[in-house]
Structure 1
Amino acid sequence: MAYSIFEIADWFLAKESMTPKKLQKLTYYAEAWSHALLNRSIVNDTEFEAWAHGPVSSKLYDKYREYGWNDIPKKNSTPDIEDEKEVDLLEAVWETYGDMSANALEAQTHSEEPWKRARKLVGAEEGDRCNQVISVKDMRKYYLSIYAGD
């Protein structure tokens, strides 16, 4: 089952308060790893674009843009995500990336092929504005290769 980007975001926000940039990267990793490990999307209502500061869901950006560099408050409850594989995936993303800062997550995504490839497709240089969608195929291929140890 796929969820809204806001349900996935709320799942992470139930863990701790965080900046919009960190939330963007965690939700991106949930989506990317879902394609790699489950061969399907965990998010049903957005795509991630290769913005200058890393992968961004414009829907999530619009909702939390008012926070700027400030933390979004922690949520009091976790959304109801029933599928055990999806909960395991979210927990794995949290365990892997949750202790990283927003800037560290940005740097990490900038070093990874899906974001770099999307920007290269439109000739976007570092710092350039870019709305190119990050390919699901590229996400799956790249993160599956990491999982396989390639």
Structure 2
Amino acid sequence: MTTEFDVARYILEKQGEMSAMKLQKLLYYSQAWSMVWDERTLFDADFQAWANGPVLPSIYDVHRGQFLVDSSLFRNGDASNLDDEASDTVDQVLKVYGNKTAQWLSNLTHDEAPWKDARGDLSPMDRSNVVIEKGQIHEYYSGL
């Protein structure tokens, strides 16, 4: 199975250096649209509903304390692990979301049900490690 590190490396090899927050959001949308278009997850890891939007803690652990990230940071990832269907999905996500800013992407996730529902009654900047359930992600994006 492809890992989140493989997909991160793939995105960064395609797009080049970007902010850590933008990478997190591109991973989120890649996972969401893979579930809808390909009827499968790209990777097993779960996103959590952090204050700035969906975050993969395992990816955060790699880029912690860094604003900008590039593919060299994800040496444990292998972009060639993505099969044709997965790479096509990520490429389509990058076409739609790749030119957006990290803040624009974060704001978008804040307007969408999976993150909002996982956050519940928390105030906008409260810390949270609540998992955004894959079923909720699939259900929401399938309806768009």
- TM above 0.5: yes
Cα distance in 2 for residues equivalent to 1:42 and 1:63 = 19
Unaligned runs of 5+ in 2: 73-77
Q: Supply the RMSD in Å over aligned alpha carbons.
A: 1.6
Unaligned runs of 5+ in 1: none
Aligned residue in 2 for 1:27: 27
Structure 1 runs (4+) deviating above 6 angstroms are none
Counterpart contact for 1:54–1:115, Cα < 8 Å: yes
1:1-150 matches, within 5 Å, as 2-15=1-14, 16-44=16-44, 46-67=45-66, 69=67, 71-74=68-71, 79-120=79-120, 123-146=121-144
Counterpart contact for 2:7–2:82, Cα < 8 Å: no
Cα distance in 1 for residues equivalent to 2:2 and 2:89 = 13
- 1:16-75 Cα offsets, whole Å, 9 max, x none, are 10011000000111111111222221013x1100000000000000100131x3x21355
Measured after TM superposition, the shift of residue 83 of structure 1 is: 2.3
Letter in 2 for 1:52: A
Per the normalisation by structure 1, the TM-score is 0.86
